[in-house]
Structure 1
Amino acid sequence: MDTKFILQSLQEGEIDHERAMKEILDITGLGDEDVHVVTNWPRFPELFRLNRIVKGRHIFWLHGGVGNVQPYLKLALTVQRPFWGIQSKGWMSPGTSFLRGIPEMAAYYVEIIRTVQPEGPYELGGYSMGGSLAYEITKQLQESGETVNTIVMIDTPASFDHIWCQGDYKDMLLKTVNTLLLPGAVGKQGKLEELLVHSNELDTRSDEESFLQQLTDLALKKGLKRKESLFKELVCQRAQVIMAYDIHRYVLSPLPYPENVSCYYFHNKNGLFYGDMEPYFCLATRSDKHENNIHRNKWKELIPDFHLINLIAPNHIQLLYDQQSVDTISTFCNLLYSEQGLTMDAFRAFKTKVNIHHGGK
């Protein structure tokens, strides 16, 4: 069993998180000596330890728009400090209540974080919407008198009003189904239409129940191995969780102490949100421009100690499935979260290598 297959099985709900982590750690050759069994926190099923390190200050990364933290596993295994991922509430368990809006989500995640680590300074990060959550958590922690040292943002838009949240419930169902199929499609030989559900395969005029049945039938034909009834239940739950984010309504407001936090921002120079993936995540064609300059400038305005790191990935959706980008981010995390921390010389050398591999400044 290789890492990609393990992550796909976890994403599809065929194995639980603890088994997935054990399998991955066995593959990487890490043993059980002097470490705890990797599992989620019983009180907070959304919280997952993503490596087996128990010494050092904790690191917390927040889920992106798709709700899970599996894409962070590869990053966490390079870091020699406890690395936690916080998954969206209700993501894995149909029927579980979920949160509404970024501030409410952040308040709950602050409770989780402070249960693990009662006092700062804190280290936060996240891909896409996860960066917005990290920012709001920083704001709430600062308002309570705590300190956040760093935020790592991976291609986080300053607003989502024209990207992920466009469309209706059927759009969200399509996004959810292909999010489940995507880990298995990445790196496989074959065309995307053979591995993911294309919007042209669907009759959008049908009612929601019939539309979900179409998606289910197509997903099963394309290789998703799951009981039909459980799959439908999971897809509906996740679509509702995503819609409850209300991310398009979230308005960034200044931090109480913006000068006290450093932001490291990984920016995909490609500038596309969906790119070739658009017909697999949108029922209708729409503007796909990521408006990179606007987002970068807004974050720099809000966090003066802002450090830009350029990457080149096919699009925003595939960024954490692009091996070169993942390797670059992993190398950075290893430096940032090392015992000596990120020195000026080390960061300068890192950026030089990134410019060689990804081009530009």
Structure 2
Amino acid sequence: TDIDHYRAPANAIEEILAGIYAQVLGLDRVSVDDSFFELGGDSLSAMRVVAAINRALDTHLAVRTLFHAPSVRSLSEQLESADSGVELVPVEIFKEGTGVPLCCIHEGNGQSYAYRGLREYLECPIIGINQIPQDGEVTPRSIRDMAKNYADRIQAIYPEGPYNLLGWSFGGPVAHEIAVELRRRGCTVNNLIMLDPVLSADGPGETVEDENPAEDRLLNLFLRSSGIDVSEESERLTYRRAEELIRQQGQVVEFVLPPKPIFEFAVYNHNTNLSYLREHVPDVFDGDMVVFSATRGEIVNNPQDWRPYVSGDLTVHSVDCGHDEMTSDEAIRMYVEQLKLSLEA
């Protein structure tokens, strides 16, 4: 940031927050007006920043608050407000606006934060559906049950339709099932769009024998994105082992891992969702579907496998990124123009 633009912290709280932003993002200093995400933050580092702030200030700030108040200045004002501690809400409003809403369905860990980056590029309202029960909902036992609950939530906010649905990874089959459910209710689904959707539970290295594949997979993601080498690890990673590795490499645990309760919630969802996926046979959606397919790394999700479950056209666009990078700003920039065209179609 140039000198003209830099705004120094105005008080002790802002100073602490700016210091934590800088440390997590690997920057020398941070202007109090700069958005955490424009400085290079993503949903993984958002968890770290909030964990570090809560520890430093003994607060109960929720990760979601950072998405609504991404600068040091706006976040310091949120520290006063009562609802900033509510970690996950059933429906997250990412962007208000007019036009057909884009309803984004959580991925395997149950959270829809990953879609936040779309705000910068799309004009329409954007909502995220999180895997947390809403009052009065029946506890789901399958993807089909989830789809009924989520269709209810979407219709509660937008009773009229039409609807645009977007799902990344595990969110793909759920979005597809919601599309089927909304059509069953006589609603119009303009677009069903998937970002590298999974179709079966046979993802990379996820075998039925492994009693907790999610813990290992999620810890790997966090450690790798912090530049911590886990290639030598012969054992399955646990939270405690990950903490050891982080300390061995001279890093601070809070800057790498989310707080244990949030992490355990993500692991629980991931494992539950894997079991749902194993049982799931999709219905046929009577419309068109667009898939943005990740082409880097291990390709486990062949988009053509969805052919039998769509009565209309199946259009596939390749994106030069890995499965886990699909909602990073870098990847979004690669396909967002095509996404806009799909939404306008």
TM-score of the superposition, structure 1-length normalised? 0.66
Aligned to 1:131: 172
Q: Which of 308, 315, 333 matches 1:327?
A: 333
CA shift digits 1:328-349 (9 cap, x unpaired): 2222333344xxx23xxxxxxx
Q: In the TM superposition, what is the alpha-carbon distance from 1:200 to its structure 2 partner?
A: 3.6
CA shift digits 1:178-233 (9 cap, x unpaired): 34445x53xxxxxxxx425x2643645xxx9xx44223333465646539998333
TM-score of the superposition, structure 2-length normalised? 0.69
Aligned to 2:294: 268
**Which amino acid in structure 2 is aligned with residue 307 of structure 1?**
T
Q: Is the 8 A contact 1:6 1:24 kept in 2?
A: no
- Inter-partner Cα distance in structure 2 for 1:63 and 1:146: 22
Q: Is the 8 A contact 1:120 1:147 kept in 2?
A: yes
Q: Is the 8 A contact 1:55 1:82 kept in 2?
A: yes
Long gaps (5+) in structure 2:
1-29, 31-35, 52-61, 75-82
Aligned to 1:155: 196
- Kindly indicate whether residue 66 of structure 2 is the aligned counterpart of residue 19 of structure 1: yes
Greater relative contact order (CA < 8 Å, ≥ 6 in sequence): 1
Q: Is the 8 A contact 1:125 1:151 kept in 2?
A: yes
Please list, as runs of the form range in 1=range in 2, the aligned pairs for 1:206-217 lying within 5 A after superposition: 211-217=238-244
Q: Is the 8 A contact 2:117 2:327 kept in 1?
A: no
Q: Is the 8 A contact 2:167 2:193 kept in 1?
A: yes
Q: Secondary structure at the match of 1:317?
A: helix
Q: In the TM superposition, what is the alpha-carbon distance from 1:267 to its structure 2 partner?
A: 1.6
Aligned to 2:16: none
Please list, as runs of the form range in 1=range in 2, the aligned pairs for 1:1-361 lying within 5 A after superposition: 1=30, 2-3=36-37, 4-5=40-41, 7-12=43-48, 13-14=50-51, 15-23=62-70, 45-51=89-95, 53-89=96-132, 99-163=140-204, 165-166=206-207, 168-181=210-223, 184-185=225-226, 194-195=227-228, 198=230, 200-201=232-233, 203-204=235-236, 211-219=238-246, 223=251, 225-226=253-254, 231-245=259-273, 246=275, 247-255=277-285, 258=286, 261-270=287-296, 272-273=297-298, 289-290=299-300, 292=302, 295-299=303-307, 302-313=310-321, 315-321=322-328, 323=330, 325-337=331-343, 341-342=344-345
**Which amino acid in structure 2 is aligned with residue 108 of structure 1?**
N
Q: CA RMSD in A?
A: 3.5
Give structure 1 regions of 4+ aligned residues with deviation exceeding 6 angstroms: 24-27, 227-230
- Inter-partner Cα distance in structure 2 for 1:164 and 1:115: 39
Long gaps (5+) in structure 1:
28-38, 91-96, 186-193, 274-288, 343-361
- Inter-partner Cα distance in structure 2 for 1:318 and 1:216: 24
Classify 1:230/1:161 alpha carbon distance in 2 versus 1 (closer, same or farther; 3 Å).
closer
Q: Is the 8 A contact 1:134 1:151 kept in 2?
A: yes
Q: In the TM superposition, what is the alpha-carbon distance from 1:62 to its structure 2 partner?
A: 0.7
Q: Secondary structure at the match of 1:45?
A: coil
**Which amino acid in structure 1 is aligned with residue 217 of structure 2?**
K
**Which amino acid in structure 2 is aligned with residue 290 of structure 1?**
V
Q: Is the 8 A contact 1:202 1:214 kept in 2?
A: no
